[in-house]
């Protein structure tokens, strides 16, 4: 998510609705503020089978319940005593991800991804208590523990597969600068990859036998795909099962990868050989053979400090991509099949569709948004879906917005 250590001026935005004409004025959409939440909000989601409560992840180690546009005061989960909560602005550690078991309504299981006080990535399972709005704090079962070499590029996203109900776990390259240990191209480490595990069998999990490196003793069998720098947010298209990854770039390019599930299996997305479509490490001779290249890239050129103090830069594109979702809800018919994503630093929001492997119907929604509102940019830490496929966006400063039709 965050590329730099920067003082963040916490300015909570007021309630507003922004009307955005989309796709040649055939329809209009809006961002409606759903709830105010504590600052350092990093994700929003909803369990399958529910339609009233939203769950918001706070980087400091708490999960909040939002219901009827109100945030409950008592957290659903509070593991702030276990989570690395750095005072450094722009920290990439803390509580980063949340995924509800596909059968959550029946079994009460949910999974979190956090960096603990010993600087290790922890993926663990919790369960609810007798009170559905309060988790059982003592129910933690650690699934994966992975020491991190540095304090950045921790990834953090976790989600269940659309067709297989396996848990997918995103991990960055381990951090510092330029992947100094070349972790992303090393299939004997989890770092720089997306893992795929079966949490319904084994202890604490088992490895699906159709994983691409299953049975290969010199590789981590949990790896589903690799060659990633920091896949802060990724998703599956609930209609096609395609995998979409927003991979945060080094200092030149941000990228979006969009591949079918079959093509994602065992895929090498290129880091640190390449940064997006450009050569990063000459030692690899810029050889793109057998690499899966991004479908979209944009320059990392934002003067972030100017933006923070209100000096918007019209020419800036961004500095840290926030991956989103292919829209499959019912409220905005003309957005059906469009991938919506954004940039954390500039608050820009874009969308495009994919045709024959190429982006089409590209929309710079931020430009239109500014035309209809004088509000300051959103610090887009994440997008999210509810159980029916409607789309949300998370403001790191402490607000949740929903895309609606106007």
Read off the pLDDT of residues 238-251 as tens digits, 9 standing for 90 and up: 999 999 999 999 98
Q: Domain tally for the chain?
A: 1
Amino acid 151: pLDDT: 82
Mean pLDDT estimate for the chain: 88
Cα–Cα distance, 252 to 273 (Å, whole number) = 14
Quote the domain boundaries for residue 374: 17-405
Higher pLDDT, 201 or 26: 201
The fraction of the chain above a pLDDT of 90, given in percent, is 72
Asked if residue 77 is part of any domain, the answer here is yes
Asked if residue 1 is part of any domain, the answer here is no
For 351-361, how does the pLDDT look when each residue is reduced to its tens digit (9 = 90+)?
999 999 899 99
Asked if residue 8 is part of any domain, the answer here is no
Q: Residue 289: phi, psi to the nearest 5?
A: -55, 130
Asked if residue 3 is part of any domain, the answer here is no
For 144-180, how does the pLDDT look when each residue is reduced to its tens digit (9 = 90+)?
999 998 888 999 999 999 999 999 999 999 988 999 9
Mean pLDDT of 282-296: 89
Amino acid 303: pLDDT: 62
From the list 329, 339, 328, the residue with the least C-alpha distance to 294 is 339
Asked if residue 10 is part of any domain, the answer here is no
From the list 346, 340, 350, 344, the residue with the least C-alpha distance to 377 is 346
Q: Which two tokens stand for residue 400?
A: 């949740």
Q: Residue 97: phi, psi to the nearest 5?
A: -145, 155
Mean pLDDT of 266-281: 94
Asked if residue 101 is part of any domain, the answer here is yes
C-beta separation of 387 from 50 below 8 A? yes
Asked if residue 11 is part of any domain, the answer here is no
Cα–Cα distance, 115 to 127 (Å, whole number) = 19
pLDDT higher than 80, residue 27: no
- In CATH, what number is assigned to the domain containing residue 392? 2.120.10.30
What SS3 state is found at 186?
coil
Asked if residue 139 is part of any domain, the answer here is yes
Q: How many residues does the chain have?
A: 406
Amino acid 19: pLDDT: 38
What pTM was computed for the model? 0.92
Amino acid 386: pLDDT: 97
Cα–Cα distance, 321 to 253 (Å, whole number) = 9
């Amino acid at each position: 998510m965050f590329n730099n250590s920067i003082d963040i001026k916490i300015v909570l935005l007021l309630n507003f609705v922004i009307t955005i004409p989309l796709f040649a004025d055939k329809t209009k959409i809006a961002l409606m503020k759903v709830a105010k939440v504590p600052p350092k909000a990093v994700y929003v989601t909803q369990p399958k089978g529910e339609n009233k409560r939203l769950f918001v992840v706070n980087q400091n180690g708490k999960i909040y319940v939002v219901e009827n546009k109100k945030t409950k005061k008592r957290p659903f989960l509070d593991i702030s005593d276990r989570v690395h909560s750095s005072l450094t602005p722009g920290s990439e550690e803390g509580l980063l991800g949340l995924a509800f078991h596909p059968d959550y309504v029946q079994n009460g299981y949910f999974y979190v991804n956090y960096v603990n006080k010993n600087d290790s990535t922890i993926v663990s399972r919790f369960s609810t208590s007798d009170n559905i709005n309060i988790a059982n704090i003592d129910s933690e079962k650690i699934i994966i523990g992975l020491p991190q070499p540095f304090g950045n590029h921790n990834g953090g996203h976790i989600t269940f597969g659309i067709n297989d109900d396996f848990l997918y776990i995103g991990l960055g390259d381990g951090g510092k600068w330029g992947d100094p240990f070349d972790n992303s191209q090393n299939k004997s480490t989890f770092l720089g990859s997306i893992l795929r595990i079966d949490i319904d069998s084994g202890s604490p999990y088992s490895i699906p036998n159709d994983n691409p490196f299953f049975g290969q003793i010199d590789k981590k069998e949990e790896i589903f795909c690799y060659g990633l720098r920091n896949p802060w947010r990724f998703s599956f298209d609930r209609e096609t099962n395609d995998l979409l990854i927003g991979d945060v770039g080094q200092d030149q390019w941000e990228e979006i990868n969009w591949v079918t599930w079959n093509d994602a299996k065992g895929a090498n997305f290129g880091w640190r050989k390449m940064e997006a479509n450009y050569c990063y490490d000459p030692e690899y001779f810029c050889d793109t053979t057998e690499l899966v290249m991004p479908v979209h890239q944009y320059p990392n050129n934002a003067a972030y400090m100017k933006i923070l103090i209100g000096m918007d830069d019209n020419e800036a594109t961004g500095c840290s991509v926030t991956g989103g979702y292919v829209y499959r809800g019912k409220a905005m018919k003309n957005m059906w099949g469009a991938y919506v994503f954004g940039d954390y630093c500039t608050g820009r929001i874009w969308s495009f569709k994919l045709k024959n492997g190429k982006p089409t119907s590209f929309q710079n929604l931020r430009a239109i948004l500014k035309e209809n509102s004088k509000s300051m940019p959103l610090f887009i830490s994440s997008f999210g879906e509810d159980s029916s496929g409607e789309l949300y966006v998370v403001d790191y400063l402490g607000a949740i917005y929903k895309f609606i039709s106007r």
